[in-house]
Amino acid sequence: MKTLVFTTFFDNHNRAGYSELLFEWLISLRTNANYKGEILIISYGMREETISKLNLLRETDIGYDIRVVDIDNPEIRGGMFLSNWRNIDSIPILEEYEGYHIVHTGADVWFQSDINSIWEEIEKTEGCYFAIERGRSCRYRGPREEEEKDGKIQAKLHGFVFGDFMSGKQESYVERLKLYKHLFETTWRGEDKPGTSWGLWVWGTDQSMMTHTFDFDKDRTNALSYAASEYYLYDKGNELIFWKDRIDTAELTNVMGIHVLAHKLTREERMEYNKGIPFESCRFYKRYSEIWDKYYLSL
């Protein structure tokens, strides 16, 4: 089986320590997650220091099969609209991976345990395999005439599709991206002007679109274990687990991937309802300092 795990990344110059998120994703993927397949980083811009460290990591025992593809797209505007544009820009790149099983996560996800069960989940999925943020709602960012339909979809999902995770067989994955591209170019394009509440130039429209186009006949929903946001978690000490008072875990397995919410690099407060877990306690480099010291601090 040919497998690909990839992320889309912009090295935000205005946030101290932002590039470390990429290395937490990458190092944990090769160590805790026990992933041996191909890795792709679609880069919308990296600082020279980040590039240098990545090249040094490639010389270690976990630095194999890492491909970086650079994208020059000024429309992401400092990373603000990256999550929309990546659904368009990644299509020609992923078309090269015919026959692969593909997983995408944001670079603010890291892994605490083996993720290889996901390939079997993808194998039995006809459409795409998504993570659903259960018990929460997502503000609709699409054409007004379809807003009522969106409410029904979120009610049926008991939440919304988490925009920073998507997986599937290459054919189904790329087909879905082409649908997103078509919508962004037509009915979901919106306007590039102040005060616009939805469209290609509004942050978060991608997540709303992914929810709105969920295919109940082909897609599957229980992938949250591979990218669980910190507000769903409880710190058990030696691992982060689902907080059962916060989310129904009936269809979920153990937490394998943790989404740490990159925006909190500029905040000190804790997320509401997160059982008092400080942001830093959800970081890979804090919880697995020996691995971090070995592969990152030595670079």
**CATH topology for 2-297?**
Spore Coat Polysaccharide Biosynthesis Protein SpsA; Chain A (3.90.550)
Q: Where are the beta strands (DSSP E) in 98-237?
A: 100-105, 109-111, 128-129, 132-134, 159-161, 165-169, 228-229, 233-235
Q: Please state, as a whole number, how many other Cβ atoms lie within 10 Å of the Cβ of residue 119.
A: 15
Q: How many other β-carbons are positioned within 10 Å of the β-carbon of residue 277?
A: 17
Q: Is 132 helix (H, G, I), strand (E, B) or coil?
A: strand
What is the residue extent of each domain of the chain?
A: 2-297
Greater confidence, 17 or 144? 144
Closest CA to 262 of 234, 240, 229, 290: 229
Tell me: pLDDT of 271 over 60.
no
Q: How confident is the model at residue 251 (pLDDT cuts 50, 70, 90)?
A: confident
Q: What angle do CA 174, 178, 6 make, to 5 degrees?
A: 40
Alpha-carbon distance of 149 to 155, in angstroms, equals 10
**N-terminal to C-terminal alpha carbon distance within the chain:** 32
Residue 84 in this model has a pLDDT that exceeds 50: yes
Quote the CA–CA distance of 180 and 24 in Å, as a whole number: 29
User: pTM for this structure?
Assistant: 0.94
Among residues 145, 138, 258, the alpha carbon closest in space to that of 203 is found at 138
Residue indicated by tokens 């970086």 = 68
Among 163-167, 232-236, 261-265, 274-278, top mean pLDDT goes to 163-167
CB-CB contact of 91 with 177 (8 Å): yes
Least confident range of 23-27, 134-138, 289-293: 134-138
Tokens of 7: 């992320």
**Residues 155-191: pLDDT tens digits?**
999 999 999 999 999 999 999 999 999 999 999 999 9
pLDDT score at 111 = 98
pLDDT at 174: 98
Q: Are strands 100-105 and 66-70 parallel, antiparallel or unpaired?
A: unpaired
Give the model's confidence band at 257: pLDDT under 50 very low, under 70 low, under 90 confident, else very high. Answer: very high
Q: At what angle do helices 18-30 and 48-57 cross, to 10 degrees?
A: 10
The predicted structure's pLDDT at residue 13: 60
Please name every residue paired with 234 in a beta bridge, in sequence order, or none if there are none: 241
Report the b/e string of 186-212 with b at 16+ CB within 10 A.
Answer: eebebeeeeeeebbbbbebbbbbbbbb
Burial of 238 (0-12, 13-18, 19+ CB in 10 A): exposed
Q: Dihedral of the CA atoms 99, 90, 51, 75 (nearest 10)?
A: 180
pLDDT tens digits, residue range 181-221? 999 999 999 999 888 999 999 999 999 999 999 999 999 99
CA distance linking residue 107 with residue 105, whole number of Å: 6
Q: Which helix H or strand E contains 171, and what residues bound it? A: helix 170-185
pLDDT of 122 over the 80 cut? yes
